[in-house]
Amino acid sequence: MSFRLFAIGLTASFGLAWLSVVVVPFFKLRTPSPISFQEGFDEQEGIYHPKRAGRVANGAAVYAENGCYQCHTQVIRPTYAGMDLARPDVGGLSPAVNPDGIDSRRESNVFDYSGLDFAMIGTTRTGPDLMNLVPRLKARVRQQAKDDGEEISEGVVAGRVRDYLFQHLYNPRSFARLENWSSCPSMPFLFEEREIKGQPSDDALDVTVEAGHEVVPGDRAEALVSYLLSLEHDDPVPATMDYAPAAPADDSQG
């Protein structure tokens, strides 16, 4: 074999793989073309545009700098690659836990990461996947209220989820639900301990510190929680993008 043939062969085998696995997907996924809902297939019309609210960009930076992605993934795998969709509250909510009674579980798609510099798909699942953290926490709060025989509005549910997240970041080992066990690291440095001047703050955490002092979220904790509150990726996608549609109701029984 001549050196020239060897060099061409080497370039072709690595170059083609690089082109098809790195370059082409990079340009295709960077600017995905909009996808429309279709009449007859979807329950709504118009262009699919996922809504995201909150301090997504700088909250994601706090998430990245504290290594949350080392233990938490953000990707709902298709069924051929894992069992995410079979679980009641990971890929969305199953009808059993969803107050709307619908199945909102779906796979992740490229639009789920829009507006972010990096897709935090994560490296391992030491902790639970966070793609649908918010629906899951809301379902948990509603269940807890139901068990306690308490009637609460959706606004109260949202407020409790927010409080839970601050408390969890400050000390993940403060919940009876896990018998005060958790290997999620605490992030007290995102909070500020200060002297109470006048009225205690509404945002003060339920923790014991020196008398006359309170713990309140710092700016980075606010940004991180705002980002965590945007982790809700179970909105309906166009049928053309939904590779795991809910099974149609079985009408054959009449």
Interface residue list for ligand HEC (CB under 6 A): 63, 66-68, 70-72, 126-128, 133, 136, 165, 168, 172, 178, 182-185, 187, 224, 228
State the minimum distance, in angstroms, from the CB of residue 184 to ligand HEC. 3
Q: Which of 122/216 has CB closer to ligand HEC?
A: 122
Q: Which of 58/66 has CB closer to ligand HEC?
A: 66
Q: Which of 164/201 has CB closer to ligand HEC?
A: 164
Contact between residue 210 and residue 194 where contact means Cβ atoms under 8 Å apart: no
Q: Which of 127/236 has CB closer to ligand HEC?
A: 127
State the minimum distance, in angstroms, from the CB of residue 237 to ligand HEC. 23
State the minimum distance, in angstroms, from the CB of residue 151 to ligand HEC. 24
Q: Which of 136/138 has CB closer to ligand HEC?
A: 136
Contact between residue 69 and residue 122 where contact means Cβ atoms under 8 Å apart: yes
Q: Which of 109/226 has CB closer to ligand HEC?
A: 226
Alpha-helical regions (H) of the chain: 3-18, 24-30, 56-65, 133-147, 154-170, 219-228
Instruction: Name 174's Cβ contacts closer than 8 Å, sequence gap at least 6.
Output: 167, 168, 180, 207
Give the integer Cα–Cα distance in Å for 244 and 210.
53
138, 54, 53, 121: which is closest to 81 by C-alpha? Answer: 121
State the minimum distance, in angstroms, from the CB of residue 252 to ligand HEC. 38
Instruction: Give the other-Cβ count within 10 Å of 202's Cβ.
Output: 6
State the minimum distance, in angstroms, from the CB of residue 43 to ligand HEC. 29
State the minimum distance, in angstroms, from the CB of residue 12 to ligand HEC. 42
Q: Which of 37/191 has CB closer to ligand HEC?
A: 191
Give the integer Cα–Cα distance in Å for 44 and 238.
9
The residue nearest ligand HEC at its CB is 127
State the minimum distance, in angstroms, from the CB of residue 157 to ligand HEC. 15
Give the integer Cα–Cα distance in Å for 114 and 31.
9
